Chains A and B, each alone.
Chain A
Amino acid sequence: MSTLDDRPASPAVGEAQPANPGGVAALTQSPVAIRLGAILLLAVGLTLLQLPGRAFWQGFVINLGIFMILVLSLNLASGFTGVFSLGHIGFMALGAYGSAILTLPLAKKADYLPNLPAWLAAVHFDFYLGPFPLGFLLATLLAAGLVAGVALLVGLVLMRLSGHFVAVATLGFLVIVRVILFNADNFTRGSRTFSNVTPYTGLWWVWCWAILTLYVVWRLKYSAYGRAMFAQREDSLAAQAIGLAILPPRLLAFVVSAFFTAVAGSLYAHFITSFSPTVFYFDLTFRVITMLIVGGLGSVSGSVLGTVAIMALAEALRRLEDVTLLYGMSQITLAVILIVIIIYRPNGLLGRREIVLARLFRKGGEPSP
């Protein structure tokens, strides 16, 4: 699984930079300042996107954020631990349906889901706190919490497996979720499209969640838990020999990852506003895995880079199709790029390494001492 190119992650490079004295130079050397600057830059960008007539690029950036959450959380479950999950889109589907059912206003609920059990039919998280849709936040948290609970039960069984077995078993989970969604008509409308979901999801929602996911995954990577995940990924025997249990770090990664995947599902549901169980299947699974592999399994900044690269490439190729009229070329080109990357950079663009923002500045600005 691990290859020659894998080198031990050099953790905390970002944090360990010694602060240099003096003015602007100090700012570009301080990791905290750089990170705040990056977030500020993002906030300015998002604000500019709110101007009228930019709905298309708003939608693009919202999709980008949703996929970033999906890729980051899949990286946590699969990249960090080496336990490859093909079933994460199942968590996304549960999150989407959970939050959509919870937020549906009472009138629509009676109309669309007349056979809901009484205790659920009376629940409607569609209330606001001033202009803030508090109900949406609670519904997302509740749905994601439930999904995390499901992940705990599933993980207790599946995280004991390794290698190909776990990939097949998680794929089985995805199939089971799909079958349940199709057959639980009273809750999900079965095969019929679940529509008229309130469109809460906006730029700020998605990117606040994305930044939170990024932060949690990043902190986990350099925590004792994260090191335990990487240790058992590299050599489970050696990890056990130094007294690390295998199951707890894997389970932690799986559950946290399922939580954020479900959040992404909720955001997706309230962005697309209508969906059916067919949406959450192989197509989405492979899109997310492509982004993860292109970025690099185990690299947090790689996940960000992989998502941005594939989304931008897919969008550019899609527009190229409208000019060349060769519909389908974009998917073929993406597949070819994936093959080329697997051949020449089998660990993705970044492998397990990280982009350190502070270092970029040092390189571009004055040479560091």
Chain B
Amino acid sequence: MKTKFFIPVVMLIVSLLLLSCGRATPTPSTSGSDTSGEAASSEPIKIGGGFALTGEESALDLPAANGAKLAAKEINAAGGVLGRPVDLIVHDSQYKMDVTAQIAKQFVEEDGVVAVIGFTDTDSVLAAGPTIQAAGLPFITAGATSPKIPTQVGDEMFLACFGATVQAAAGAEYGFNNFGPNAYLLWDKGVEYTTLLGGYFKDRFTELGGTIVLEDQYDDEATDFSAQIAKIKALPEQPDFYFISAMPYNVGPVIKQFRDAGLTGPIVGGDGYDTPDLLSVAGPAAENVFFTTHALMDATGGTEGIKKFIADYNKEYGHDPENAFAALGYDTMNLISDAITRAGSTDAAAIKKAIEETKDYAGITGSISFGDSHIPQKGVTIIAVKDGAFTLGAEVVPEKVPAP
């Protein structure tokens, strides 16, 4: 009676385990020959790509992964790296931290990669980072902007995007110079990115001599902002502009509700605003909104590199890139292949050194140089919403960046 169900179930589990082990076993032999030199010239160079393709972070990770895959395809079409094709091995972390930690081990042990790229959020990078750091492999995150990541993970960790300090400073300087010295500050207190961005904005803005007339916060994924709006309306005088540090899914509703309540002043934000939802949810309310991001993903207004990227992306996937994270994924993949080419080998230490020596690498999200820091000095794109479209507001490099 009891064994009737037990035995088939056990057999099922054992066969599934064997299935998964079976794929794992042949790889160590290939990873061994990887470092032995250029003799095996047709052997692909393996790069790990960790992305949360499903789950809450997928709106950012999926475009980033697509961008990286497109770059790998183009690299191979152009003859590969060091005469060898590159193989971008992508694993889905499902935005689960235990799975994220596991796929880092999979990259190191089973896939035998020479470097890892990926992820757009701090939690995932910190969950995967220690394993990759311990294995001595370079790890470049495509879009996690916390400037503390390199010190938290170690010397193998790099950012392909600017840090939150840089875009906060750019936003603060832009607002101060263009709108005035009195700002209102609102941030999503449920997410590290929005909390850091709001904090760094305040640091730089007050340093410039500006005044935060009122600061307020809301819970992550909030849908009703009437309490915050009521407090602004109670102010004796309206601020010159509103800085709202929000996640992509909150951006549309918060702006719409601000405008509906009659708050028409300029709204400034970070790269969380870089989502099609801003225009589709807020609609006409999105006028007079300015935000800092990595690149203007516009087929007509963007730079030449961006225009070509959008055309290629459209050809490959049948639609335009969703946001700038697609371009970041693309740049990250190209950055690592550039480093391998300059290193002249697939030795991890040589690649790491080559990444550190990267100078004025012309990515489509801006020129990338790593100095002493593993966070690139990159220009910030400021986008202005005009007539229902994203237009280029300014390309700036902040004069001073707050300490992380």
B315 part of interface (Cβ distance < 8 Å): no
A275-B53 CB under 8 A given contacts A193-B126, A316-B20, A360-B3? no
**A349, B2: Cα distance in complex, Å:** 10
The answer to whether B195 and A192 touch across the interface, beta carbons within 8 angstroms, is yes
A363 part of interface (Cβ distance < 8 Å): yes
Selecting from A55-63, A128-136, A137-145, A204-212, the interface stretch reads A55-63
CB neighbours of A276 from chain B (8 A): 123, 192
CB neighbours of A195 from chain B (8 A): 126, 152
Q: Which of B19, B122, B123 contacts A316 (CB 8 A)?
A: B19
B97 part of interface (Cβ distance < 8 Å): yes
CB neighbours of B98 from chain A (8 A): 63, 268, 271-272
CB neighbours of B55 from chain A (8 A): 283
A328 part of interface (Cβ distance < 8 Å): yes
- The A337-359 residues at the B interface (CB cut-off 8 A) are 349-350, 353-356, 359
The answer to whether B123 and A53 touch across the interface, beta carbons within 8 angstroms, is no
The answer to whether B105 and A279 touch across the interface, beta carbons within 8 angstroms, is no
A124 part of interface (Cβ distance < 8 Å): no
A262 part of interface (Cβ distance < 8 Å): no
| Least CB distance, B29 to chain A, in whole angstroms | 12
Majority secondary structure, A binding face: helix
The answer to whether B94 and A331 touch across the interface, beta carbons within 8 angstroms, is yes
B13 part of interface (Cβ distance < 8 Å): yes
Q: Which of A271, A278, A318, A363 contacts B101 (CB 8 A)?
A: A271
| Least CB distance, A359 to chain B, in whole angstroms | 7
In the complex, per-residue mask of B94-136: 1 if CB is within 8 Å of any chain A CB, else 0: 1111110110011011100000000000110011001100000
B73 part of interface (Cβ distance < 8 Å): no
Q: Which of A283, A319, A327 contacts B53 (CB 8 A)?
A: A327
- In this complex, the member of B2, B90, B130 whose beta carbon has the largest number of chain A beta carbons within 10 angstroms is B2
B92 part of interface (Cβ distance < 8 Å): yes
Q: Which of B17, B89, B152 contacts A196 (CB 8 A)?
A: B152
CB neighbours of A327 from chain B (8 A): 53-54, 92
* Least CB separation from B152: chain A residue: A195
The answer to whether A313 and B16 touch across the interface, beta carbons within 8 angstroms, is yes
A30 part of interface (Cβ distance < 8 Å): no
**A196, B196: Cα distance in complex, Å:** 18
| Least CB distance, A288 to chain B, in whole angstroms | 12
Q: How large is the interface on A (under 10, 10 to 19, 20 to 34, 35 or more residues)?
A: 35 or more
* Least CB separation from A277: chain B residue: B190
The answer to whether A191 and B195 touch across the interface, beta carbons within 8 angstroms, is yes
A349-B54 CB under 8 A given contacts A195-B126, A274-B126, A275-B123? no
**A312, B16: Cα distance in complex, Å:** 7
CB neighbours of A5 from chain B (8 A): none
In the complex, per-residue mask of B48-64: 1 if CB is within 8 Å of any chain A CB, else 0: 00000111000000000
* Least CB separation from B126: chain A residue: A274
CB neighbours of B102 from chain A (8 A): 56, 59-60, 63
* Least CB separation from B106: chain A residue: A56
Query: Number of B residues contacting the other chain (C-beta, 8 Å)?
Result: 51
The answer to whether B6 and A322 touch across the interface, beta carbons within 8 angstroms, is no
The answer to whether A359 and B53 touch across the interface, beta carbons within 8 angstroms, is no
- The B287-332 residues at the A interface (CB cut-off 8 A) are none
In the complex, per-residue mask of A309-333: 1 if CB is within 8 Å of any chain B CB, else 0: 1001101101101110001101100
A278-B105 CB under 8 A given contacts A192-B196, A305-B9? no
**A193, B28: Cα distance in complex, Å:** 34
**A191, B196: Cα distance in complex, Å:** 10
**A135, B96: Cα distance in complex, Å:** 28
The answer to whether A319 and B23 touch across the interface, beta carbons within 8 angstroms, is yes
- The A32-59 residues at the B interface (CB cut-off 8 A) are 53-56, 59
CB neighbours of A308 from chain B (8 A): 13
| Least CB distance, A308 to chain B, in whole angstroms | 6
CB neighbours of B123 from chain A (8 A): 193, 274-276, 278-279
The answer to whether B5 and A191 touch across the interface, beta carbons within 8 angstroms, is no
The answer to whether B20 and A274 touch across the interface, beta carbons within 8 angstroms, is no
A312-B192 CB under 8 A given contacts A193-B123, A271-B101, A272-B127? no
A105 part of interface (Cβ distance < 8 Å): no
The answer to whether A272 and B192 touch across the interface, beta carbons within 8 angstroms, is no
In the complex, per-residue mask of A288-310: 1 if CB is within 8 Å of any chain B CB, else 0: 00000000000000000100110
B24 part of interface (Cβ distance < 8 Å): yes
CB neighbours of B89 from chain A (8 A): 322
A193-B92 CB under 8 A given contacts A275-B123, A356-B2? no
CB neighbours of A56 from chain B (8 A): 24, 102, 105-106, 109-110
* Least CB separation from A350: chain B residue: B5
B46 part of interface (Cβ distance < 8 Å): no
A273 part of interface (Cβ distance < 8 Å): yes
Query: Which residues on B are within 8 Å of A, measured CB to CB?
Result: 2-3, 5-6, 9, 12-13, 16-17, 19-20, 23-24, 28, 53-55, 89-92, 94-99, 101-102, 105-106, 108-110, 122-123, 126-127, 130-131, 146, 152, 189-192, 194-196, 219-220
Some 30 contacts from A to B, beta carbons below 8 A apart, are A53-B28, A55-B131, A56-B24, A59-B101, A63-B102, A191-B195, A192-B195, A195-B152, A199-B130, A271-B101, A272-B97, A273-B126, A278-B123, A283-B55, A305-B9, A309-B12, A309-B13, A312-B13, A312-B20, A315-B16, A316-B17, A322-B90, A322-B91, A322-B92, A323-B23, A327-B53, A331-B54, A331-B94, A350-B5, A363-B3
Query: Which residues on A are within 8 Å of B, measured CB to CB?
Result: 53-56, 59-60, 63, 179, 182-183, 190-193, 195-196, 199, 268, 271-279, 283, 305, 308-309, 312-313, 315-316, 318-319, 321-323, 327-328, 330-331, 349-350, 353-356, 359-360, 363
Known contacts A272-B98, A316-B20, A328-B53; can you find 13 more A-B pairs with CB under 8 A? A53-B28, A53-B109, A54-B109, A191-B190, A268-B98, A275-B127, A277-B190, A278-B123, A312-B20, A328-B92, A350-B5, A356-B2, A360-B6
